[in-house]
Amino acid sequence: MFDDASLDDPQALNTIDDELRRIAGWGAEVRRAHTAAADVLAQVDQMDRPRAIIASGPHGRLFRAVLEPVCPVPFVVWPYGGLPAWAGPLDLVVVVCPEGDREEEVVAAAEARRRGCSLLVAAPEGSQLHTAAAGRETCFLPAGSADTTALAVPVLCALHLLGLGPEVEAEPVAEALDQVAKDCSPSVESDANPAKNVALALADSTPVVWGGSVLAARAARRVAESLRAASGRPAVAGDDAQLVPLLAGAPEADIFADPFEDGASELRPALVILDDGTEPAIAAAARRRLEEAAERASVRVQPVLAVEGSQMARFATLLATGRYAAAYLGLGLGRQD
């Protein structure tokens, strides 16, 4: 059973204080990551346009979400080991690894050097990845944070300076995260706290998360991961073709149901819509289909808004709000341990 009162109980909230502090410090992580890379960024200049950009490793999808709509060259995410067979001296390989010693990233960087590719690498100084990537054609950004999203900001700044992506500034992203920390603070009561509202909407439900823009869709996948981990329930993110059948097939609501007898399999879905204010027309149509399916099935719809600031600031706002919501959901379900 979900304990609504725990979300505004200082004693209960104290049990998730460490997690809430980590999320609240996200803005500071962005500033640290940018500060560590500032000297290198000040020397970055436009390069000869590469034939293609290859983002190696599991973090490449975020870069694709930001760059793909405007990047002047083909952009490929390669989450596997090594590099695609065609990668060569005309291509730029991007490798980001906060740990600095993951084998997949180290191997990718070494392979890129062997093939003569240009490299843009973010990792701790002196790490295995730093050593493997060192070379004349490498732009190395020292990692000032172990947080992947924070570390992505200076990498995106470098790609802009290289003439390959949109302008991204660290401070507006950090300020947006600071604002989320204020709005979603444990001291802000449920009726005025967007993250607690999401947790309450999901209290007795299976989360179904959707984002309309490319970045909001990426945020939806990350938020669904956080909700799964916090609740122990399945949480799904996807496009409307995948999610409409889940909403349409929701079990019929039963106001006389006994929650102690009805197991988790009887939980009904709740639709969380991540809205960054940049939905293209095709996404607006998809949203209408989802909302209509939810209405027909009497499924609750919970919007999460981030409609101000840059693309990355909006993405970070959605992601941070989702992380707060997951923490509060876990608390209400008694899973904070």
Cβ proximity of 286 and 232 under 8 Å: no
| Low pLDDT (below 50) residues in the chain | 263-265
- Strands of the sheet with 118-123, listed across from one edge: 75-78, 53-56, 92-96, 118-123, 138-142
Q: Which two tokens stand for residue 53?
A: 């950009």
Domains and CATH numbers, the chain: 4-24+175-332 (3.40.50.10490), 47-162 (3.40.50.10490)
Q: In the prediction, which pLDDT does 250 show?
A: 87
Helix (H) or strand (E) holding 275: strand 268-275
pLDDT the model gives residue 262: 53
Type of residue at 161: L
pLDDT tens figures, 41-69: 999 987 789 999 999 988 888 998 899 88
Q: What is the pLDDT of residue 126?
A: 95
Q: Smallest Cα–Cα separation from 129: which of 110, 150, 113, 111?
A: 110
* Distance, CA of 1 to CA of 310 (rounded, Å): 39
Check if the beta carbon of residue 50 is closer than 8 Å to that of residue 118: yes
Give the pLDDT score at 337.
58
The predicted pLDDT at position 264 comes to 47
Provide the pLDDT for residue 255. 57
